[in-house]
């Protein structure tokens, strides 16, 4: 009996020391990867990001007009889940509570968009809606009251339907005058308090998804329309920037930029043609937006491959575009492999002029480029952010840059609320991407802010409510918001001394469990 007991004690001792060894490894690893607020400049903006259509709801309230998305999402088959954003997060009614959530996170900036149809229900063909103006005034005032900088997008995929019906929306040059009209109202009414304006969110993704893939309204599938749309979007930006700079900027002291969708690319094969495909994909998709706004014309790479098919800017237009942004916003989620489609064959229907005749995929020989996520083309590749920032820094002479979106989705699982609240994967994602961003900054990149997509779960376009990107979980029945583990992590990250506490939590689970009643399994 004595022997057995001794044996047991020895074994138990070994198990314990093995456990503490593992624990020590976890702790020292996590220590190595620890990302701290003080690795970023003091004045750095740390925020969360949302957009109007994805969160506001109340589509028929407060004098709002219908948008392209209201109409599109009600067409059967357009949204995978058959859902729409008629109510969404009901942020229209719950915005004060949401601003309190932001305050509790400790963020110093909030990126949101203004619903065009809430300000101008009929575009410039009708009156300004005073209830819409009052709504955004209240958001802005309440943010500032809590020390949160409003970072405002004018167009985040939602257009007054009237402009689509009247002249085909972004396909027509008439949109430039409408966008300028809308932008000027926002500068005049909100610009005394808003210091960061983004004209357009992801014109490249919008042109691609709405006019090539048919996934976003107006749901068209064309090889050349995306170029027309991008052209009109760029000129619309130039119009807004001209109005801002000539009439408001000096007095109001703010800045205007644009937000571009980015993926980083790696060559599918270690071959010259695929390395060129990487350069071409970046030149067409990212620089196709930024070159015109910084240098006054499309990238030479696009001119070279497209010739006369590429729309041309007049001398006047080129002047208006040239140097028309004060900062670059990048939305970044993932890296993809790039395969050349000019010198070698690609899967049918996968060589598009708009995307630079490059086929992109997350897989090489069946192996993913990074850990897969529920979004089919989003993989976890933290280094991609550093590389993307480096590309921007090099090509645009280190222009001030903001990471305006970065985040990861969870697939909704009915009845799995507790599981979704324990989003360790999102915490690891944020740590990895922030560490990558910190490296880019250490290497001299002038990055001035970072926004997590998203503050809370919301309507993820064609995916409906299935993809949950939020730091806060939203119960779409009760509209209750509940902080996920990642909200806690972000809060602690932003409150320097609390970060140490988080590392302790890796071994002291019970302390996390007590946090607002959330059970955590690390």
Ligand X SMILES: *[C@@H]1O[C@H](CO)[C@@H](O)[C@H](O)[C@H]1NC(C)=O
Using CB under 6 A as the criterion, which residues of the chain lie in contact with ligand X when the complex forms?
A: 295-297, 318, 322-323, 497
In the block, tokens 């943010």 appear at: 143
Catalytic pick among 202, 276, 301, 405: 405
Find the shortest distance in angstroms from Cβ 424 to ligand X. 26
DSSP 286: I
* Long-range CB contacts (within 8 A, 24+) of 167-174: 168/218, 169/68, 169/218, 170/206, 170/207, 170/210, 170/229, 170/232, 170/233, 171/211, 171/225, 171/228, 171/229, 171/232, 172/232, 173/232, 173/235
What would you report as the CA-atom Rg of the chain, rounded to the nearest whole angstrom? 24
Tokens of 3: 């022997």
Closest distance to ligand X from the beta carbon of 152 (Å): 27
Residue 124 and residue 91: Cα distance in Å, rounded?
Answer: 26
* Residue in the structure block whose two tokens are 């109001």: 252
Nearer to ligand X, 296 or 384 (CB): 296
Q: How far is the CB of 84 from ligand X (least distance, A)?
A: 43
By the 8 A CB rule, do 58 and 115 touch? Answer: no
**Smallest distance, Å, CB 319 to ligand X?**
6
Least distance to ligand X from the beta carbon of 318, Å?
A: 5
Query: What is the CB neighbour count within 10 angstroms for residue 499?
Result: 19
3-state secondary structure (DSSP) of residue 17: helix
Q: Nearer to ligand X by C-beta: 172 or 318? A: 318
The smaller minimum CB distance to ligand X, of residues 255 and 322, is found at 322
**Closest distance of CB 396 from ligand X, Å:** 13
Provide the residue count of the chain: 522
**Minimal distance, residue 451 CB to ligand X, in Å:** 24
Which CB contacts under 8 angstroms, 24+ apart, belong to 309-312?
A: 309/224, 309/227, 309/353, 310/227, 311/227, 311/228, 311/231
Q: Please identify the residue of the shown chain whose CB is closest to the bound ligand X.
A: 296
- In the complex with ligand X, the residue whose CB is nearer, 397 or 497, is 497
Q: Which is nearer to ligand X, 40 or 116 (CB)?
A: 40
- Alpha-carbon span 274 to 27, nearest angstrom: 40
Indicate the residue among 406 and 499 with the shorter CB distance to ligand X. Answer: 499
**Backbone phi, then psi, for 375, in 5-degree steps?**
-80, 120
Q: Mutual orientation of helices 287-295 and 383-395 as an angle, nearest 10°?
A: 30
The span from the CA of 472 to the CA of 45, in Å, is 20
CB of 64 to ligand X, least distance (A): 40
Query: Six-digit token pair at 42?
Result: 């003091």
End-to-end Cα distance, the chain: 38
Give the residue among 339, 338, 330, 346 at the shortest CA–CA distance from 289: 330
Place of tokens 């069946």: 366
- Residue 177: which residues within 8 A CB-CB, separation 6 or more? 124, 239
Q: Measured from the CB atom, is 271 or 297 closer to ligand X?
A: 297
Cβ nearer to ligand X, comparing 318 with 462: 318
- Residue 237 Cβ, how far from ligand X at the closest point, in Å? 16
50 near 455, Cβ under 8 Å?
Answer: yes
Mark whether 33 is an active-site residue.
no
Q: Taking a C-beta distance cutoff of 8 angstroms, is the pair 500, 492 a contact?
A: no
Phi, psi of 481 (to 5 degrees): -105, 135
Provide, rounded to whole angstroms, the least separation between the CB of residue 495 and ligand X. Answer: 8
The pairing of beta strand 196-201 with beta strand 255-267 = parallel
* C-beta closer to ligand X: residue 345 or 496: 496
The residue among 346 and 498 lying less far from ligand X, judged by its C-beta, is 498
Q: Distance between CA 130 and CA 118 in Å, rounded?
A: 9
Yes or no: say if 504 and 133 are a contact pair by the CB < 8 Å rule. Answer: no
Taking a C-beta distance cutoff of 8 angstroms, is the pair 114, 152 a contact? yes
- Active site residues per annotation: 405
């Amino acid at each position: 009996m004595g022997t057995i007991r001794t044996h047991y004690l020895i074994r138990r001792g070994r198990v314990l020391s093995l456990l503490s060894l593992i624990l020590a490894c976890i702790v020292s690893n996590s220590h190595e990867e620890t990302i701290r607020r003080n690795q970023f400049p003091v004045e750095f903006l740390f925020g969360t990001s949302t957009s109007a259509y994805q969160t506001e709801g109340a589509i028929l309230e407060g004098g709002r007009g219908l948008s392209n998305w209201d109409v599109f999402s009600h067409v059967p088959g357009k949204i995978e889940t058959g859902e729409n954003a008629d109510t969404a997060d009901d942020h229209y009614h719950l915005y004060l509570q949401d601003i309190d959530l932001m305050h509790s996170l400790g963020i110093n900036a909030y990126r949101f968009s203004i619903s065009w149809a809430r300000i101008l229900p009929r575009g410039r063909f009708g009156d300004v809606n005073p209830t819409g103006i009052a709504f955004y005034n209240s958001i802005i005032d309440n943010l500032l009251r809590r020390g949160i900088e409003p970072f405002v997008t004018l167009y985040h995929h939602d257009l007054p339907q009237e402009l689509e019906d009247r002249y085909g929306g972004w396909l027509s040059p008439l949109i430039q005058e409408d966008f300028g009209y809308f932008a000027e109202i926002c500068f005049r009414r909100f610009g005394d308090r808003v210091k960061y304006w983004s004209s357009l969110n992801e014109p490249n993704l919008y042109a691609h998804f709405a006019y090539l893939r048919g996934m976003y309204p107006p749901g068209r599938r064309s090889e050349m329309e995306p170029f027309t749309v991008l052209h009109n979007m760029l000129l619309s930006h130039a119009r807004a920037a001209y109005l801002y700079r000539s009439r408001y900027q000096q007095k109001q002291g703010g800045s205007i930029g644009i937000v571009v969708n980015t993926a980083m690319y790696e060559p599918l094969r270690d071959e010259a043609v695929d390395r060129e495909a990487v350069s071409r994909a970046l030149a067409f998709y990212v620089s196709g937006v930024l070159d015109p706004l910084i240098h006054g014309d499309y990238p030479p790479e696009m001119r070279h491959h497209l010739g006369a098919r590429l729309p041309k800017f007049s001398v006047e237009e080129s002047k208006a575009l040239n140097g028309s942004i004060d900062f670059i916003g990048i939305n970044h989620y993932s890296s993809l492999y790039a395969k050349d489609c000019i010198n070698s064959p690609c899967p049918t229907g996968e060589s598009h002029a708009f995307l630079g005749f490059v086929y992109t995929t997350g897989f090489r020989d069946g192996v993913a480029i990074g850990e897969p996520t529920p979004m089919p083309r989003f993989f976890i590749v933290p280094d991609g952010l550093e590389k993307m920032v480096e590309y921007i820094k090099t090509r645009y002479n280190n222009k001030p840059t903001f990471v305006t979106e970065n985040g990861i989705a969870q697939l909704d699982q009915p009845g799995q609320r507790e599981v979704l609240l324990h989003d360790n994967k999102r915490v690891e994602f944020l740590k990895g991407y922030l560490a990558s961003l910190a490296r880019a900054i250490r290497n001299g990149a002038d990055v001035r802010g970072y926004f997590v997509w998203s503050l809370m779960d919301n309507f993820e376009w064609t995916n409906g409510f299935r993809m949950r990107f939020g730091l806060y979980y939203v119960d779409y029945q009760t509209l209750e918001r509940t902080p996920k583990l990642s909200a806690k992590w972000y809060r602690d990250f932003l409150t320097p001394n609390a970060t140490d506490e988080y590392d302790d939590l890796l071994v002291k689970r019970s302390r996390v469990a007590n946090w607002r009643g959330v059970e955590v399994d690390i």
